[in-house]
Structure 1
Amino acid sequence: MKKVQILLSTYNGEKFVEEQIESLLNQDYQNINILIRDDGSKDQTKSIIKRYKTNYPEKISVMDDSNIGVKKSFMKLIEQASESADYIAFCDQDDYWEPKKISRLVEVMEKEDQEIPLMYFSKLNIVDSQLNYLRQSPDPEMGIGFENALIQNIATGCTMGINQSLLTLVKSSMPDPDLIVMHDAWLYLIASAFGKNLYDKESYISYRQHESNAVGMSTSKFKSIQKRYQYFKKERKTKPYTAQANELYKCFYKQLDSDKQKLLYAFLFSRKNMMQRMNFIKKTNLYRQTEMDTKIYKICYINNWY
C-alpha cells in the first residue's frame, strides 16, 4: 500500500481544526501520516494538536513554530515533506474531508507514470461554516496548462496531491515565498511547466467559504466582473503573477522546453511600453477560465497592471 503524507498548516483554528483532523483520521485509506505545522497560534489550536499527537503518535507529527503566514508555512511544510512518501496531500484547517478523499487520490495517481511530475486536484463542494452545501466549484472549461498557470491558479490547495517526482523537482530550487502567489499556485505552475495535471470532476471535500476566499464567487455576473476588475486593479502595484513568473524564470528557466522559455521570456520582458504589451497579447494565447476573465486580464496587461 502506497504511503501518503498530509501537510496541514494551522493558525488560530480552534473552531474547526478538531473536526478536520477527525476527518483525516477517518479516511478509508489508512497508510497516512499527518505533518502539522502550527503558525504561532494564540488560541487553543496548539493544545488540540498536541492532544491528537499524543493519542495518535504513529499518525501525527507536529512542527510548532513562530508566525510567518500561511504561504511561508506551507512552503516550510513542503521543505520538510517526506522523501519516503509516495504522495503528498495538502490540507487546510477548516474544511472537512470525505472518507474516500485519499483513496481517490491514490487511485487516480496510480494509473500514471510516476517518473512524470504529477499533480492531482479536484472539484470542491463549497459549504457554509456549518457544512451546509452551497454549490460546487466550476470545472476548468478552458483547459489546464502552462498558458493558464502563468496568469491564474485553478488548483485549490486543499484538493491537491503530488507525487514524489514533483516534490523532488519543487524542492530542487525553492522560490522566495514572498514572491509567489500561494503554494498551490506555484505547484500548479510547476506541474504545468514540467509534468501533468490530473483534474477530478468529483469532489471529496467540503470547503468552507469565507469572505477572504470569496473573490469572484458572487452569484451576480455583473458584480463578479466588477469585483474581478477591482481586484486586478488593486494588485497592479505588486503584480503577483508577474512576480511568480520571475521566480519561475530564476529557478527553472534553463529546464523549460524552448516553447515555454519563449513564452515566459516574452511575458516578463516584452512589456516596456504599451505597444509591446499589445503585441504580446495579440501573439500569445494566455488565458483564464472564462472569456470575460481573459478579456479583463488582457486589459490589465496592456495597462501594465498584471
Structure 2
Amino acid sequence: MLIFLGAVYRDWGAAVHSAYSGARSSDVLVGCESSVALENDHVAILMCTYNGGAFLRAQLDSISSQSHGDWSLHVSDDGSTDGTHELLRSFQHLQGAHRVHLYAGPGIGFVANFLSLTCREGIHAQFFAWSDQDDVWHEDKLQVALKWLRRVPAERPALYCGRTQIVCEAGAHRTFSPRFTFAPHFRNALVQSIAGGNTMVFNLSARALLVEAGWHVAVPSHDWWCYQLVCGAEGEVRYDPRPWLMYRQHAGNIIGSNTGLNNQLKRCRMLLEGKLRGWNTQNICALEKMQHRFDEKHRRSLALFKAARQQRLPWRLLNLLRARLYRQTLMGNIGLFAAALLKKI
C-alpha cells in the first residue's frame, strides 16, 4: 500500500508540473505594461466596514490619492459602533455625495456584506474593485489593474489579483504574501484561493457572474468564490507578483495572512478539524448551481472532485489524480495529498 501511495503521489506531482510548468504566471503577464488611456474607465470601489475607525482614514486617503481618478466609492457598513460612520460621512462631504455612497450592510458577516454590495442595483461601472477598511493602497493600484483588464474583451469575465505587502498594526513592513508561479486555473481554484479580495479588480462580465449567483450564496469567502467563478466560466485571471497595497495585520483581522510558522500551523489545525472539508462542501454546492456557465472540462473536474471526496482509498486518490487538481507550492500540494489521505478534503 505504501509503495502504491508513493507512486500515486509521484504521478500526481508529475502531472501537475508537466501540465503547468510551461504556463507560469510570469509568461501570462508579458506585454501588460504598455500605456493605455484609462481616464474614461470608471471603477466602482466596493468597501465593506465594521468598526474600522482605527485605520479607515489611511485607507480613504490612499483611495483619494489614486493616479486613476475616475472612481466612485461605495461603502457597506455592517453596524459599526465606533467612529467609522463619522469618518465616512466626513469623506463623503469632502468628495461629494455623487462620488461616495454609504449603505447599511446585511449584518450577517463579511462574505454576505461584500457579495450584497457587489450585487446591489444602481452601482454602474465598467470595473469593480473590492476594498478592505484597514489597508493602504499604492497610488497606482487601480491604474496597474486597468492596464491589464482593458486588454480583455468586455464580454469575457476578467479578474486581476496579486500579492500584498504585509505590515504591522503601526504600518511597518513585515513581509510579503507568498509569490505563486503556476498559472491560475479552475483546477487550482477548486482547492486554493490565490489572492485576497483586497487585491481584486474585475470587469463587468465577472460581476455579472457574481450577480447571477446571488449574494445569498453560502461560500466561505467572496474572493475564493470569484476566482472559482471566473476560471470556471473560461474567463481570464491575472495574478500580479508585485504588491500594490499594504495589508495591515492586527488583532481585529477576520482572516490573517498565510505567512509565518504560526499561521501555517493554524491552517494545518483547521485541516485536521475538518474546516477545509466543510469549505469545499460549500463551494461545490454553490458551483454546481452555476456550472451551466462552465466549460465541459471544468464541469468534469468538478464532478471528479465531488466524487473523490466520498470514495475510499485508493479510488479517492486516483480520481483526484484524474481531476489534476493542484496548489501553487510544494508544501501546498503535500498538504492536499495529506488531506486526501485523511479524507479531509
Q: Deviations over 1:41-91 (max 9, x none)?
A: 111111211222223222200002452211110011111165631100010
Partner of 1:216: 258
**Aligned-partner Cα distance in 2 for 1:175–1:288:** 27
Contact 2:116 2:215 in 1 (8 A): no
Q: Deviations over 1:91-123 (max 9, x none)?
A: 000000111111112112112222210000122
Q: CA deviation at 1:149?
A: 0.4
State the identity %. 25
Partner of 2:159: 119
Partner of 1:299: 338
Alignment root-mean-square deviation, CA:
2.0
SS at match of 1:239: helix
Contact 1:6 1:89 in 2 (8 A): yes
Q: CA deviation at 1:17?
A: 0.7
Q: CA deviation at 1:238?
A: 5.7
Alignment of 1:3 onto 2:76? no
**Aligned-partner Cα distance in 1 for 2:147–2:258:** 32
Q: CA deviation at 1:255?
A: 2.5
Partner of 1:231: 270
**Aligned-partner Cα distance in 1 for 2:199–2:167:** 15
Alignment of 1:203 onto 2:233? no
1:163-178 to structure 2, matched below 5 A, reads 163-174=203-214, 176-177=216-217
TM-score (norm 1): 0.91
Residue identity opposite 2:271 in structure 1: F
- Which segment drifts farther, 30-39 or 229-238? 229-238
Partner of 1:247: 286
Partner of 1:257: 295
Distance 1:128 1:81, change over 3 A: farther
Partner of 1:192: 231
Residue identity opposite 1:192 in structure 2: C
SS at match of 1:41: coil
SS at match of 2:309: coil
Distance 1:290 1:214, change over 3 A: same
Contact 2:232 2:293 in 1 (8 A): no
Q: Tell me which of 272, 277, 288 is aligned to 2:310.
A: 272
**Aligned-partner Cα distance in 1 for 2:229–2:101:** 27
Runs of at least 5 residues in structure 2 that lack an aligned partner in the other structure: 1-39
**Aligned-partner Cα distance in 2 for 1:282–1:64:** 45
Residue identity opposite 2:210 in structure 1: V
Distance 1:53 1:135, change over 3 A: same
Partner of 1:282: 321
Partner of 1:141: 181
Contact 1:175 1:247 in 2 (8 A): no
Residue identity opposite 2:140 in structure 1: K
Residue identity opposite 1:265 in structure 2: A
SS at match of 2:324: coil
Partner of 2:90: 51
SS at match of 2:214: coil
Q: CA deviation at 1:242?
A: 2.6
Give aligned pairs, total.
Answer: 301
Q: Deviations over 1:122-170 (max 9, x none)?
A: 2211111121111222222233111110011012111110001111122
- Which segment drifts farther, 53-62 or 179-188? 53-62
- Which segment drifts farther, 86-95 or 125-134? 125-134
Contact 2:92 2:100 in 1 (8 A): yes
**Aligned-partner Cα distance in 2 for 1:261–1:96:** 38
Residue identity opposite 2:318 in structure 1: N
**Aligned-partner Cα distance in 2 for 1:15–1:38:** 15
**Aligned-partner Cα distance in 1 for 2:243–2:340:** 33
Contact 1:36 1:63 in 2 (8 A): yes
Contact 1:149 1:188 in 2 (8 A): yes
**Aligned-partner Cα distance in 2 for 1:169–1:19:** 32
Contact 1:9 1:36 in 2 (8 A): yes
Distance 1:227 1:200, change over 3 A: same
**Aligned-partner Cα distance in 2 for 1:208–1:225:** 18
